[in-house]
C-alpha cells in the first residue's frame, strides 16, 4: 500500500562464543526492570549459561567444543526473540505469551521463569540441536550423551530458582507477587502458594528436555522433506506457545474483591490496572506433543501402589 512502510525483519545472528552470550544476557539484565517477566527468565538463563560455561573446561562434557557451539546457537534463538520485540515485531509464537504478559500484575515471577524455560527448551532447543548437526556435519546421536549431561546442570539451577522464587511464608497475605525483588529472588503471598505449588507440579525441566530430544529426532528424520519439517516446526512453535499461556494464567485476582485484603484492591495499595483477562487455552489435537513437560496429577487413575486403575 502506498505510503505504508514495513519494518525490516530482524536478522538472526548467532553469538560467536559462550562469553558473548553471557555478555548479551548481562546487557539485557541491566536494561530491564527487576520485576519484568522477561528479566526474571533472563536472570535464570544467565545463571544456567554461566554454569554450563564453567563445566566446559573441567572435563564434564565429552565434546566441550560441540557443547559450546550448541550453547551459542541455542542462545541465538532467545536473543532473536528479544531483538524482535525491541524492534516492535512479534517474536515466535512460543515466546509471545511471556513478552505479552511480562508486566501482568497477577503473574508470579516463578511463572515467568517457567514460561521462558518452556519456550526455550521445548521449541528453541530441538531446532538448535538440528542446526548444530548441520553446521558440524554430524548426526544427533553424536551429541546425545552431552545433551543429556546438561540435565544435571539444569536440575541444580532449577532447584535453586524454585527455592528463591517460591512465595515466602513471612509475607503478609496482601503482599503482591512482586513484593520483594533481588538478583533472582522474588516472593509472593503465601495465600497463592497453593495454586502456584500445584502449577509447579505440572511442569518439569527434565521432561521438557526429553520431549525436546524427541522433537530433534523427528526434525532430523524430516530434513529431506523441507515442507514437512517447516510444518512440524510451525506446529511445535504454536503448541509450545499454548502451553506458555497456560503457565502464565494469573494466580492473583486483579478485578473486583481481593480475598483476605479487607475489601477491594485498594486495601493492597490500589488497583492493579487494566490487565487483560486471560482465558484458559487448549492445544489443537494436530500439534506436536508437548505433554512430556506437562505432568498433571494422575492420582485419580492409580491405586496406592502406583498401578493403573481401569475405570468402567
Tell me 123's DSSP state: I
Task: Give pLDDT, residue 285.
Answer: 39
Of the candidates 180, 7, 19, the one whose C-alpha atom is nearest the C-alpha of residue 83 is 7
| pLDDT score recorded for residue 30 | 97
Tell me the angle at which helices 226-247 and 109-119 cross, rounded to the nearest 10 degrees: 170
Q: In this prediction, what percent of the chain has a pLDDT beyond 90? A: 56
Mean pLDDT of 6-16: 67
On whether residue 103 sits in a domain, the answer given is yes
Identify the DSSP state of 294. B
Q: How many CA atoms lie within 13 A of 90 on its CB side?
A: 6
Residue 272 lies in a domain: no
Higher per-residue pLDDT: 251 or 39: 39
pLDDT for 50 beyond 90: yes
Is 203 part of any domain?
yes
pLDDT (tens digit per residue) in 165-197: 765 533 333 333 332 333 333 334 455 567 777
In a domain, 61, yes or no: yes
Would you say residue 50 lies in a domain? yes
How far, in Å, CA of 15 to CA of 23, rounded?
10
Average pLDDT of the segment spanning 264-288: 39
The answer to whether residue 40 sits within a structural domain is yes
Give how far the C-alpha of residue 53 lies from the chain's centroid of Cα atoms, to the nearest Å: 20
Residue whose cell numbers read 541465538 = 76
Per-residue pLDDT at 289: 52
Evaluate whether residue 261 is within a structural domain.
no
Residue of 67, 72, 125 lying closest to 94 (CA atoms)? 125
* Higher pLDDT among residues 298 and 42, named by residue: 42
Query: What are the pLDDT digits (tens) for 101-141?
Result: 999 999 999 899 999 999 999 999 999 999 999 999 999 99
Q: What is the pLDDT of residue 199?
A: 78
- Does this model's pTM top 0.85? My answer is no
| Residue keyed to cell 566441550 | 64
**Of the candidates 147, 7, 6, 5, the residue with the CA atom closest to the CA atom of residue 73:** 147
Task: Specify the number of domains making up the chain.
Answer: 1
Print the domain residue range for 285. 18-171+189-252+279-296
Give the confidence band of 42 by pLDDT, cuts at 50, 70, 90: very high
Query: Is 263 domain-assigned?
Result: no
| Separation of alpha carbons 233 and 124, rounded Å | 10
Burial of residue 207, with CB atoms counted within 10 A of its CB: 0-12 exposed, 13-18 middle, 19 or more buried = middle
pLDDT at 153: 87
Instruction: Identify the pLDDT of residue 293.
Output: 58
Could you give the CA distance from residue 152 to residue 135 in angstroms, rounded to a whole number? Answer: 26
The pLDDT of 267-285, averaged and rounded, is: 38
Amino acid at each position: 500500500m502506498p505510503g505504508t512502510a514495513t519494518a525490516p525483519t530482524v536478522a538472526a545472528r548467532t553469538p560467536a562464543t559462550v562469553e558473548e552470550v553471557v555478555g548479551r544476557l548481562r546487557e539485557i539484565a541491566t536494561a530491564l526492570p527487576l520485576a519484568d517477566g522477561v528479566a526474571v527468565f533472563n536472570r535464570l538463563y544467565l545463571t544456567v549459561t554461566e554454569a554450563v560455561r564453567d563445566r566446559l573446561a573441567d572435563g564434564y562434557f565429552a565434546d566441550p567444543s560441540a557443547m559450546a557451539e550448541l550453547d551459542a546457537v541455542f542462545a541465538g534463538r532467545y536473543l532473536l526473540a528479544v531483538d524482535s520485540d525491541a524492534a516492535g515485531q512479534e517474536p515466535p509464537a512460543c515466546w509471545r505469551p511471556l513478552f505479552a504478559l511480562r508486566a501482568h500484575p497477577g503473574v508470579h515471577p516463578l511463572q515467568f521463569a517457567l514460561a521462558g524455560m518452556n519456550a526455550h527448551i521445548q521449541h528453541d532447543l530441538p531446532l538448535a540441536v538440528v542446526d548444530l548437526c548441520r553446521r558440524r556435519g554430524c548426526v544427533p546421536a553424536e551429541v546425545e550423551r552431552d545433551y543429556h549431561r546438561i540435565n544435571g546442570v539444569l536440575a541444580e539451577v532449577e532447584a535453586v530458582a524454585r527455592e528463591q522464587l517460591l512465595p515466602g511464608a513471612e509475607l503478609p497475605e496482601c503482599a503482591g507477587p512482586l513484593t520483594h525483588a533481588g538478583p533472582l529472588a522474588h516472593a509472593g503471598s503465601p495465600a497463592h502458594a497453593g495454586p502456584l505449588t500445584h502449577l509447579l507440579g505440572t511442569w518439569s525441566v527434565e521432561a521438557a528436555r526429553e520431549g525436546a530430544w524427541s522433537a530433534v529426532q523427528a526434525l532430523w528424520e524430516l530434513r529431506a522433506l523441507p515442507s514437512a519439517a517447516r510444518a512440524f516446526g510451525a506446529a511445535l512453535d504454536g503448541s509450545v506457545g499454548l502451553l506458555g499461556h497456560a503457565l502464565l494464567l494469573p494466580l492473583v485476582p486483579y478485578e473486583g474483591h481481593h480475598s483476605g485484603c479487607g475489601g477491594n484492591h485498594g486495601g493492597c495499595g490500589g488497583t492493579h490496572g487494566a490487565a487483560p483477562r486471560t482465558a484458559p487455552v487448549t492445544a489443537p489435537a494436530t500439534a506436536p506433543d508437548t505433554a512430556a513437560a506437562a505432568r498433571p496429577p494422575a492420582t485419580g487413575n492409580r491405586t496406592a501402589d502406583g498401578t493403573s486403575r481401569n475405570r468402567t
